[in-house]
Amino acid sequence: MLELAIHHRQGDFTLEADFALGEGLTALFGASGSGKTTLINIVAGLIRPEAGHVRFNGETWSDGSVFLPPHRRRIGYVFQEGRLFPHLTVVQNLRYGERLLPRTERREDLDRIASLLGIADLLARRPSHLSGGEKQRVALGRALMASPKLLLMDEPLSALDSGLKAQILPYIERIRDEFGVPILYVSHSVEEVARLATSLITFDKGRASAVGRPDEALATVMHASGDLPAGNFIDAEIAAHYPEDGLTEARSAAGPLLLRRTSVAIGTRVRVFVPVSDIVVATEQTAGLSALNRLSGHLVAVEDGHGTGVTLTVDCHGQLMVAEVTRRSLRQLELEPGKPVHLLFKTVSIASESLYRKTKG
Ligand SMILES: Nc1ncnc2c1ncn2[C@@H]1O[C@H](COP(=O)(O)OP(=O)(O)OP(=O)(O)O)[C@@H](O)[C@H]1O
């Protein structure tokens, strides 16, 4: 668990953060200059905050009297460009990761990491003979070889084109799911964050705040940043393909979802995006409609949007969904908190479908 309460000024800029994080991948998301890298550097021990504390698993890394240097924090750091040592081979770069560790604390096995990252055939090469994506996988491997307790990734994919990104994302997912090491991940990419984040910290002019469940919060945050239309993310798992109908079915806590046909493998965890503009609200089960998706739940909030629309929040078996109706519909359907409703929409898509599709063939 990373616990952080800090106040730090640099020039005209002030960073304020107060949150705690557990396992999984926490995306740090915010406009340029909002303080993401400053926060990462404070956690890494590259900047000493003016006030406050940083603790990890009960150990104080930084407070008024303690300041642990970076190498005592057991952190793996992956930068935008891999920063491999050009004169060392891949295997030497990987071994470098564990060099600073006492032998007794070297937990990671080079073969396991090389095979996890698909770099076992590259071990004898030097970085100049690797593609950008291969370099970045080696950089991930080097960070893992240090048996880190925490991984920091500052825009690790931003220098790569979308094809290479798609190749590396599944490896980052495997690290997230198989290593049990918390990851702080800085990114400007809606697609990456939508696909990877299990929790989310947003940055607004130096104010860093943890938000609720990422699938629910992501849509709001990304809409506010202008990157997405208003909508809902739903965590789901690919369950079946119906090629004859051009459909794929996914399972989610809210209920089954029918997607436009994708080639993503059954069992893959995906995040689905349902735009608010696609959702029709009904108070009764209606027959004779072409909408393939129907989620049932009850209204938990009704918020007048001051325009023509009213925003509804619906709890569908624990998944909060946002929908919009006009004031007239609100009146006619007598919508109020507690009322059971059904949300109807046509087929939907995976949030970052291009990235899933390229990786799963
Ligand atoms: N050494 C410094 N002295 C004074 N101000 C600084 C220093 N380093 C960064 N800043 C300022 O602090 C603010 C936050 O910078 P930071 O690099 O953390 O933002 P960021 O969210 O990571 O941005 P980006 O997404 O562009 O990388 C910016 O306004 C920046 O100009």
The CB density around residue 204, as the number of other CB atoms within 10 Å, is 14
Among the listed residues 163, 83, 80, 168, the one whose alpha carbon sits nearest the alpha carbon of residue 127: 83
pLDDT of 357 above 50: no
Average pLDDT over residues 334-346: 93
Among the listed residues 103, 120, 121, 122, the one whose alpha carbon sits nearest the alpha carbon of residue 111: 120
Q: Is 319 in the pocket of ligand 1 (CB under 6 A)?
A: no
Residues 67-119 have pLDDT tens digits of 999 888 989 888 877 688 889 999 999 988 777 777 777 777 888 889 888 89
Q: Which atom of ligand 1 is nearest to the CA of 35?
A: 18
Non-local CB neighbours of 314 within 8 Å, separated by 6+ positions: 281, 295, 297, 298, 299, 300, 320, 321, 322, 323, 341, 343
Contact 242/71 with Cβ under 8 angstroms? no
Q: Which atom of ligand 1 is nearest to the CA of 34?
A: 21
What is the C-alpha separation between 340 and 331, in angstroms, rounded? 15
Q: Is 137 in the pocket of ligand 1 (CB under 6 A)?
A: no
Strand-pairing partners, residue 251, are: 237
What is the C-alpha separation between 17 and 4, in angstroms, rounded? 7
Average pLDDT over residues 140-150: 89
pLDDT-based confidence at 243, cuts 50/70/90?
A: very high
Contact 259/247 with Cβ under 8 angstroms? yes
* Interval between CA 81 and ligand 1 midpoint (Å): 19
What rounded mean pLDDT belongs to the chain?
86
Residue nearest to atom 24 of ligand 1 (CA): 32
CA angle 196, 200, 206 (to 5 degrees): 130
The pLDDT, as a whole number, for residue 353 is: 52
Tell which wins on pLDDT, 282 or 168: 282
Probe target for ligand 1 pocket from 6, 38, 189, with the most ligand atoms within 8 Å of CB: 38
Domain boundaries, the chain: 2-227, 233-360
Probe target for ligand 1 pocket from 6, 10, 81, 184, with the most ligand atoms within 8 Å of CB: 10
Residue nearest to atom 12 of ligand 1 (CA): 13
* Interval between CA 38 and ligand 1 midpoint (Å): 6
Q: Which atom of ligand 1 is nearest to the CA of 41?
A: 18
Pairing relationship of beta strands 150-154 and 75-78 according to DSSP bridges? parallel
Backbone dihedral angles phi then psi of residue 141, each to the nearest 5 degrees: -60, -40
- The CATH code of the domain at 233-360 is 2.40.50.100
Residues 159-197 have pLDDT tens digits of 777 777 877 888 888 888 888 899 999 988 877 888 888
Residues 26-61 have pLDDT tens digits of 999 888 889 999 999 999 999 999 999 999 999 999
What is the C-alpha separation between 157 and 218, in angstroms, rounded? 20
pLDDT-based confidence at 360, cuts 50/70/90?
A: very low
* Interval between CA 40 and ligand 1 midpoint (Å): 11
Beta strand extents in the chain (DSSP E only): 2-10, 13-21, 25-30, 51-56, 59-62, 75-78, 150-154, 183-186, 199-204, 207-210, 231-242, 247-252, 257-260, 269-275, 280-282, 293-304, 309-316, 319-326, 340-345, 349-350
2-227, CATH topology level: Rossmann fold (3.40.50)
Strand-pairing partners, residue 235, are: 271
CA angle 302, 308, 314 (to 5 degrees): 25
pLDDT-based confidence at 229, cuts 50/70/90?
A: confident
Sign of torsion over alpha carbons 237, 242, 248, 252 = negative
What ipTM is given for this predicted complex?
Answer: 0.94
